[in-house]
Structure 1
Amino acid sequence: MEKKPSSHARKWSAAVVATAVLAGGVYAVPHIFADGSPESEAKVAASADKTASTKASPVPNAAASVTTSVSASSTSTAVRTASASVTKIGNAEVYLPVISIDPKKSSVTATRAALIDLEVMTLRAVEHFPLDTSEKAYATLTETRNRAVEVLSDPNAPIDRIYSTSRKLEESLDRYNGEAISNANAVKKVLADAKSKSGNNAAGALVLQGVAEAQNKLSADSTKDGALSAYKQFLLRESEANDITAFRASDYTSVLKQYEANIKARTENVDEDLVEDLRDSFDTSAAALEAILDRTSGKNELDAAQSGVETTYAALNEGLSLAADIKSAEPLLDSPTGKEKGQYAASAVGTLKRAIGKAERALEKSTTAEQVKEASSDLSSAVSEFKSKRNT
């Protein structure tokens, strides 16, 4: 049975709803009014996401609306402590607000929407605090987001799989933020920048609300855990704002067409079988984006799908380069062996053959451009080493 919030929490929620209606009726109830449990945080996240259609209308006096809404939250946030910033779900620590929504406790629609929110939040997280692409946290976040795009593109995906995918993505997001953010001051800089750039429209109002909510959280808890929780709250509002931002479908289709043209031009001189798996991954992500475009979905789902296209294309692009390098290296295996001048030791040829085999296996197993680049570097070193072994 779903745990009901306390009567105190329900009173706060009612007050906020009333404030939002008076201010223009466009704001979702902030997570900071939940009673602190994972269930209530998740339920509020579902409510926040599902108000996008209402938020799409213009907002009169947006700045004043945000101020009114935030002032109502000050008492509630003042009592939060560091221990309330993190909750334990399974074996993982998850920062509040908890975005993932279990369909057993809410609706299927809310579960899918939560995963889409998380996808866009990961994109924003990388923009605000970029880690080197070689960092494990970056690679994990990218791979998990790509799997999430594939799951959502499958109309027959079991709802339990959608939920488990969102849990893994949220955990990856929290780990990424934990690596990328050093302290509360780093978050404050992002908030100040977002506040200065927010527009005077519905999307801008949501960003301002996110800034204010995060600042309130930071006032109550300026530890690193508190900062990560506040920042995550802001990312959620950014996601909501992005979803109601106007877009042109042609911007997405033109990227697909350009990628396809690039791939066609580059596959003419390589063994396509070597990049079959990378090509399949790109085709899957491209098909997912096209399917979403056909449904005229919101911008969040489109942006998440496009991120999958971009990362799989980058991996394929690097894969095509590696396939070309393999093709160039293979004739070296026919080099004459022996002890005479211009010949190679048989062991050197064997070493190069193993290096080429390793590069071919990398093309089968790699899922990111960074992994393929590493394999390319290894092969390049092996070729250079082989050439240095020629008898003089």
Structure 2
Amino acid sequence: MNPYSRSFLARTSAAALAVTIGISGFGFQPSVQAAEPAAASSTSASLAYLSDPLRAELVYLNARTENMFLLTDTFTFDPDSYRYHDLIAIQNKTYTLVTDPAASQSELSAVQQQHEKALNDYIDYYLRDYDALRHFATLGYLLYYHSRINQDESKLTPAERGELHAVWDAQARIEQLGGSSIQGNALRAYKEVYLPLSAKADDLETYDASTYSSLIAKYRADIQARLAAVSGSPANHSASLQAFEQSTSLLEQIVAARASYNQVKVAKGNLEVRYSNLVNELKLDSPIQNSEEYQDLKRAIANIWTMMDLPKGIRTGEYPPSAFGDLRRALRKAERVLETSTKLPELRQAHNELADAQMDFLVRRKL
């Protein structure tokens, strides 16, 4: 059956699904959620602050951002764009504030406004009507017309069904606005209808608790190894260590409490931020030879030295003698940095310059 021929009231809309999700508030648990041990009452009490309406809105705002990235990640765009970095920065701030019980309503409200603006600026800059229309068409095919589904919604998971109805409601909104031929209608429906309802549908997504316990174990092991290598006292990093441990504990509690997938994603995002901050801090207090930057440059130098054995000459497939001379000078320069540098930015710059020299060498091959 063609979904476009259906009466708007003849099917369960994504909006209705969203209402169903919202009936029990932020902590609604769908029956399809992966089985988990029942959470202790003390754990539930410790997570009560997450039921705050403003935090709930921020959780869904983050889900909208994540779902938007699923589309734009397939595009080629300037990764140095300030819009991209602004959005990532405000998303990280959202993670930390939503999961901070001490965050005030004014702080939460401020970050919500900043996040909304950054998200809209990003969408308006990178997306066009045809991007939204293509996205809707692709999802509509995969979730309804594909042979796996064969226009039978009963074959969809609850989350997939919510996603499909988000697409249909967005397409219906385009028609209400006057059709896709009018510039801006598709993108408006994408922002105003599809993204919010798609974010709500994510609450119906199931997840494997072991995925997060494995991630936590991996991060904890890495931090312990880094602490063992620091030059100073681990006590110098007590604040960041405490923030990291609090983030791991929160993620463990949220998963154990069978929270929604959107809540889990925010807790995981907070863990990623705390882990990254701690790693960067520990790097500055560790011998530079232990740093990833040092090891990366060391490996690059060793690998590129092997290129000196490539055929030299002026015939097809050979490299001119001058190319080898330039590459050798670049390698010697990188080796000096590796031997004398005491700063991570210098190692990163040397690695980038050596990579450029390698590319310059390769393009000089005779054709």
Instruction: Give the alignment's TM-score, normalised by structure 1.
Output: 0.54
1:200 counterpart residue number: 156
Deviation at 1:292, TM superposition (A): 2.6
Note closer, same or farther for the CA distance 1:205–1:304 as it changes in structure 2 (3 Å cut).
same
1:114 counterpart residue number: 57
Identity of aligned residues (%): 22
2:99 counterpart residue number: 153
Contact 2:229 2:287 (8 Å CA) reproduced: no
Whether 2:22 is the aligned partner of 1:50: answer yes
Instruction: Give the alignment's TM-score, normalised by structure 2.
Output: 0.57
Aligned partner of 2:185 among 223, 226, 230:
226
Contact 1:187 1:231 (8 Å CA) reproduced: yes
Deviation at 1:293, TM superposition (A): 3.0
Gaps of 5+ in 1: 1-14, 31-44, 59-107, 330-348, 360-373, 383-392
CA RMSD of aligned residues (A): 4.1
Aligned length: 262
The DSSP-based 3-state class of the residue aligned with 2:15 is coil
Cα distance in 1 for partners of 2:206, 2:277 equals 30
After the TM superposition, which residues 1-392 of structure 1 pair with which residues of structure 2 at under 5 Å, given as runs?
19=9, 23=11, 27-29=14-16, 50-51=22-23, 56=30, 109-130=52-73, 133-181=79-127, 183-198=128-143, 200-219=156-175, 220=177, 222=180, 225-232=184-191, 233-271=193-231, 276=237, 282-314=244-276, 316-317=278-279, 326=288, 356=343, 377-378=348-349
Contact 1:52 1:243 (8 Å CA) reproduced: no
Cα distance in 1 for partners of 2:289, 2:173 equals 57
Contact 2:29 2:259 (8 Å CA) reproduced: no
The DSSP-based 3-state class of the residue aligned with 1:154 is coil
Deviation at 1:255, TM superposition (A): 0.8
Q: Which moved more, 1:278-287 or 1:157-166?
A: 278-287
Q: 2:218 corresponds to which letter in structure 1?
A: Q
Cα distance in 2 for partners of 1:157, 1:259 equals 25
Q: Which moved more, 1:219-228 or 1:110-119?
A: 219-228
Contact 1:187 1:227 (8 Å CA) reproduced: yes
Contact 2:171 2:189 (8 Å CA) reproduced: yes
Deviation at 1:48, TM superposition (A): 7.2
Deviation at 1:55, TM superposition (A): 9.3
What CA deviation, in whole Å up to 9, does each residue of 1:14-48 have, x standing for no partner?
x98xx4xx756x85359xxxxxxxxxxxxxx8x57
Cα distance in 1 for partners of 2:90, 2:199 equals 18
Cα distance in 1 for partners of 2:286, 2:60 equals 39
Deviation at 1:243, TM superposition (A): 0.7
Gaps of 5+ in 2: 1-6, 33-50, 144-154, 292-336, 354-367
Cα distance in 2 for partners of 1:226, 1:48 equals 27
Note closer, same or farther for the CA distance 1:282–1:227 as it changes in structure 2 (3 Å cut).
farther
Contact 1:210 1:237 (8 Å CA) reproduced: yes
The DSSP-based 3-state class of the residue aligned with 1:297 is coil
Q: 1:229 corresponds to which letter in structure 2?
A: R
Contact 2:14 2:169 (8 Å CA) reproduced: no
Contact 1:244 1:299 (8 Å CA) reproduced: yes
Cα distance in 1 for partners of 2:129, 2:232 equals 49
Q: 1:122 corresponds to which letter in structure 2?
A: T
Cα distance in 2 for partners of 1:305, 1:55 equals 17
2:303 counterpart residue number: none
Cα distance in 1 for partners of 2:111, 2:274 equals 19
The DSSP-based 3-state class of the residue aligned with 1:296 is coil
Cα distance in 1 for partners of 2:109, 2:187 equals 23
Contact 1:111 1:163 (8 Å CA) reproduced: yes
1:390 counterpart residue number: none
Note closer, same or farther for the CA distance 1:324–1:109 as it changes in structure 2 (3 Å cut).
closer
The DSSP-based 3-state class of the residue aligned with 1:28 is helix
Cα distance in 1 for partners of 2:62, 2:169 equals 21
Cα distance in 2 for partners of 1:289, 1:129 equals 27
The DSSP-based 3-state class of the residue aligned with 1:155 is coil
Q: 1:200 corresponds to which letter in structure 2?
A: L
Q: Which moved more, 1:320-329 or 1:234-243?
A: 320-329
Q: Which has the higher contact order (CA 8 A, sep 6+)?
A: 2
Deviation at 1:237, TM superposition (A): 1.8
What CA deviation, in whole Å up to 9, does each residue of 1:179-231 have, x standing for no partner?
331x2111122222222333613222211111112223344364664343222
Q: 2:209 corresponds to which letter in structure 1?
A: A
Deviation at 1:288, TM superposition (A): 3.6
What CA deviation, in whole Å up to 9, does each residue of 1:258-281 have, x standing for no partner?
111122223433346799476566
